Structure 1
Amino acid sequence: MTKTSLAPRPAERQQWLQVAALFTVLAPVAVWCGRATSYLPGFPPGFVFLYAVPLAMVAFTWIPPRTDAQRRRRLALGSIGCLLAFLYPHVLLVGWLTLWAFSAG
């Protein structure tokens, strides 16, 4: 009986590096597109730190997966991280408008 190694094969590892690099390029593009399409007049400097969560999700994709389940989770994390990076200014604007509507009443 032989044990199978959980370490990824070199070809799979090389292929995964391309996926991680794609998410790494898409994350700043998503941040820029989200900022460009939102109606926020200016982005307060303190709120920039909240981009750490989606960008950390994208950074997590650089850990090479060993199983198919890990591969699916890393793809989901990278995708959700890019989506959150894009949607963050829009969610922030909706939150501000909601607070403004409730405080004005």
Structure 2
Amino acid sequence: EWEYGLPVFSIEPSFASWFTVVASTTVVNNGSQSATRQVVYQSRRFLSGVWGEWMVAHAEEITLAPGQSAVFMLPAGPILLTYGYHYEVQVVDSIGDASPVITVIM
């Protein structure tokens, strides 16, 4: 089993409606074997009273030995976020292990 920490997330205005987002999450392989997994940052927006579909913001393949940890980072860069909306952000892998969900309020 892989364990994901709470995503650390910061947003800084870039220009117009675009923001620079920096995010990182610690991942640890608590299993007994080395493994490679596809790991993704995903987010979804709350609109008209319902949560939208999860959208992949960044994907990466990570290999960890037993007991090894790594920091999975969302590459810094401008992305489009809209003022006044709530977003949920989560890290999840190809096996289904996932971080807690955090809520970001713009």
If the length of structure 2 is used for normalisation, what is the TM-score? 0.29
If the length of structure 1 is used for normalisation, what is the TM-score? 0.30
Structure number with larger C-alpha Rg: 1
